[in-house]
Amino acid sequence: MEYVGLVFGIFGLIAYLELSSLKGRITELEREMTKMKGTSFHENRSSLLHAARSYIGQNVIIDLKEDYKDPDIEMYGNTKHGTNTILDADAEWLCVRTESAKGNTEKLIRMEAVERITVSRDQ
């Protein structure tokens, strides 16, 4: 009988330790989410399209998927030396104006190439 109490005590201690570490992980995730405020991670194309349409006319930071990297968007528009402004968006394409020291260019980007759109903090 004593062994049963000992086993339940050990399981209770393990459960308590797991629960206390869970609170720390939740606090860390909340801190991370606060840092990412204004960032859009999109699970599907319709949520990406909705976000892109809501950012029309705003300066944004556009992260492209690995296979679709574009130096004008990544290097010039996403830094302090230039901006990306969304001009229009539809289900297939995103029209972006990149203003940089190199000049102003308008580009069409496939929606499937966009991983994340973040509102620029400079506005």
pLDDT in tens, 71-113: 777 776 666 777 889 999 988 899 999 888 778 889 899 888 8
Report which of residues 36 and 118 the model is more confident about: 118
Kindly state the average pLDDT of the residues 36-59: 74
CA–CA separation, 99 and 95 (whole Å): 13
Task: Tell me what the pLDDT averaged over the chain comes to.
Answer: 81
* pLDDT at 46 > cutoff 60: yes
Annotation: CATH topology of 41-119: SH3 type barrels. (2.30.30)
* pLDDT at 4 > cutoff 90: no
Amino acid 119 reads V
Q: Give the contacts of 113 (CB within 8 A, at least 6 positions apart).
A: 64, 65, 67, 68
Domain residue spans of the chain: 1-35, 41-119
Amino acid 27 reads T
Q: What is the pLDDT of residue 88?
A: 93
